Amino acid sequence: MTADAIVHGILAERATLAAGPITVGDIWRIVPYDNTQGICHITEAVLREILEENAAAYNTKSFRGVWGLRWTFNPQAPDGKRTVSLTHGDGTAIKKASVSP
């Protein structure tokens, strides 16, 4: 099964790895959460709702990365107006989307 887009947690911003052996603890500092994947089929309206909520969390630890989309947003815009533009990564319009939370 494939996904058109992925919404994912962001890795720790300030974590670095030094040269030499890497421990499991080092990895947990960079990826501080368990990874769980799932695929769901959603409408464009639901995708926009998810992205609106995500844009509201911009510059916080709750903000999620987005892959596979061209998404322009304004986090200061009022609720429901944060998404400025949204297309598939290749620029085509979104009619039906699969997103992996």
Domain membership of residue 22 (yes or no) is no
Instruction: Identify whether 28 is part of a domain.
Output: no
Structure-block tokens of residue 27: 């990895």
66 belongs to a structural domain:
yes
Q: Where are the alpha helices (DSSP H) in 31-93?
A: 44-56
Q: Are strands 5-8 and 69-73 parallel, antiparallel or unpaired?
A: unpaired
81: containing domain: 5-10+37-100
Q: How high is the pLDDT of residue 96? A: 54
Q: Tokens representing 94?
A: 């979104």
Please state whether the predicted TM-score (pTM) of the whole model is above 0.85.
Answer: no
* Rg from Cα positions in the chain: 16
Please give the tally of structural domains in the chain.
1
Least Cα distance to 97 among 57, 51, 60, 46 occurs for 46
Extract the residue ranges of the chain whose pLDDT is less than 70: 1, 12-14, 32-33, 96-101
Q: Identify any residues that bridge with 65 across adjacent strands, giving them in sequence order.
A: 8
Distance (Å, whole) CA 100 – CA 52: 17
Q: Report yes or no on 49 lying in a domain.
A: yes
